[in-house]
Amino acid sequence: MDSSEARQRALVLVDKPSIVMMLGTVDAQGAPEIKAMVKMRNDGLRRYWFCSNTSTRRAEVLKHNGRSCLYAYEYAPDAEPLVCRGVMLAGTAELSWDDDLRRSLWQDFMTLYYPQGPLDPDFVVVQFTAERGNYYEGLENADFTV
Amino acid sequence: MDSSEARQRALVLVDKPSIVMMLGTVDAQGAPEIKAMVKMRNDGLRRYWFCSNTSTRRAEVLKHNGRSCLYAYEYAPDAEPLVCRGVMLAGTAELSWDDDLRRSLWQDFMTLYYPQGPLDPDFVVVQFTAERGNYYEGLENADFTV
């Protein structure tokens, strides 16, 4: 698997509509943290949008340190053939309260989390921009730039 | 949900035999990294053992910085009722090539990864020790000490 194929296969994985992605961040004490995020939208391999809450620990950490990573995988040890693939993307995450962006990502079920609707002050968008990645499948893996 | 209940529910989750856990680390440049690991064994909420390869980037990072986290989750948006729970554990990870430990974790299928068997120099054990955690389920979450 070369870089070009790794990039191609990684795109297939992150383009899956309901893929869960793990966001990795580093707190003020230098310790890593992980949180699963439901992807709302992505633009190829490069940019991703997630919904979060202004009041959370995650948002507080990202205000001070945007260096982050995204990770997604598929693992089905009992499938024939066995499925074991994943991608890690390194890049930066930033918070946005842009009204147009929040409106464009809004879905009805989200009132459960943001009772005031798309402009609820607690509704914040996490925008992740990837710079480089590593894709693995079975025993193979390859780095690529984004 | 109080700390005690969070700790109890987190234990149910990490005790699942085939749970996939994400290991979060910080590289020499201060950037976070994530890798899915298949848990080989755990001792309650406190200690976890995973198999890795001496030659990997992960092992290299852990030699220099053991601060790490473990994350596991279950997410089934279409289940009735919806399943959305997870745990993040903060602590430290260290590498071990102890022969007894490697033999005790050995399983036959692992020759695929370590052709020389349990004492293959490329077979390294990642031991994670948790100090504290956060458990979430639905919209609730609580911190706990381990």
Question: Which tens digits make up the pLDDT trace of B78-133?
Answer: 888 888 899 999 999 999 999 999 999 999 989 988 999 999 999 999 999 999 99
Reply yes or no on whether the pLDDT at A48 is more than 90: yes
pLDDT at A109 over 90: no
Query: Could you tell me which residue, A84 or A133, shows the higher pLDDT?
Result: A133
Question: What is the interface size between A and B, counted as CB pairs within 8 Å?
Answer: 76
Instruction: Give which of A57, A71, A17 is closest to A39, Cα–Cα.
Output: A17
What confidence tens digit (pLDDT) does each residue in B122-145 have?
Answer: 999 999 999 999 999 988 999 999
Query: What's the Cα-to-Cα distance from A63 to each of A54, A58, B83, B125, rounded to whole Å?
Result: 10, 9, 30, 35
Q: Which residues of A touch B (CB under 8 A)?
A: 18, 20, 22, 24-26, 30-36, 38, 67-69, 71, 73, 75, 77, 86, 88, 90, 112-113, 139
Residue B28 to chain A, least CA–CA distance (Å): 11
Distance of alpha carbon B78 from the chain centroid:
27
What's the pLDDT at A89?
A: 98
Average pLDDT for chain A: 94
Please name the member of A34, A75, A77 whose beta carbon is closest to the beta carbon of B34: A34
Q: Which of B37, B34, B136 is nearest to A23 (CA)?
A: B34
